[in-house]
Amino acid sequence: MARRPHVAIVGLGLVGGSLARALTAAGYTVTGIDWPLVVRRALRTRAISRGATRTEKGASADVVVLAAPPATNLRLLRRLAKVARPGLVITDVSSVKGDIVREAARLGLDGFVGGHPWRARRSRASPPPRPASSGGRRGGSCRPVRAATRVVRSIVCAAGARAFTTDAATHDRTMAFLSHVPQVVSWALLEAARGDAVARRHVLRAGPGFRGMTRLARSPRALWQDILEANRVEVRRALRALVRRLERSRSLRRDRRDV
């Protein structure tokens, strides 16, 4: 494989588009795959050097990045599996890793290394995604690093991000606590306030604390329902842990009053 692999990115939205721009700027050959209108715009702004409209075209690149929403990435993976040569490196950006990692194993795609741009870097004006590659579908540590993992890490690095490798189970359990449950709580806080006969009249007067706690509630519902559904087992575990703590703080207060 050449020093700089040819990268195909399927889906030129916020994540795919940023990655395309960063890799093209770093000298990579990037094929962008999306609807014709999106591809034309990406070519015009030089976010990509080549364009295509069919996912299968990605199979001729060295690496394919699936950058559509989670459920779509699963479908794209199945289409890609029909035309992929053995060892084709495939990664994705879905925020739940268990199901896509299992699906890749079932399809015999041994060059699949799941990815997830975990968080934006704060010190840059226009942050590139920072993928936490999440391969190792057998669980546990990924050492020794497979060739496919090395390729994916090199791309992450070239995009200005820091690679961090973990297994899918750890990733999904951690994300339930650090991302998925906070999302559910943000909705619940807003809905609880809006649902109260008295508090509902003052929601718009709420201070920065409440606004900060309900900022996530503005995220797109449909995308999140996908994510929560895909990670339901871990989300349920994390929600149970949270509710237990809330119940405890409630009963604590009751006890103290009775003293």
**Alpha-carbon gap, residue 131 to 157, rounded angstroms:** 9
Q: In the complex with a copy of itself, which residue's Cβ is closer, 35 or 229?
A: 229
Tell me whether residue 208 or residue 220 sits nearer to a copy of itself (CB atom).
208
**Which of residues 82 and 254 has its CB atom nearest to a copy of itself in the complex?**
254
> 179-218 mask for a copy of itself (x: CB under 8 A)?
x-xxxxxxxxx-xxx-xx-xx-xxx-xxxxxx-xx-xx--
Count of residues of this chain found to bind a copy of itself when the rule CB under 8 A is applied:
61
Q: Which of 13, 107, 20 is closest to 63 using CA atoms?
A: 20
Closer by beta carbon to a copy of itself, 6 or else 177: 177
Site map 106..125 versus a copy of itself, x via CB under 8 A: ------------xxx-----
Residue 114 CB, nearest approach to a copy of itself (Å): 16
Binds a copy of itself by CB under 8 A, chosen from 82, 246, 258, 259:
246
User: Binding segment for a copy of itself among 20-28, 67-75, 98-106, 249-257 (CB under 8 A)?
Assistant: 249-257
Task: Indicate whether 250 belongs to the interface with a copy of itself (CB under 8 A).
Answer: yes
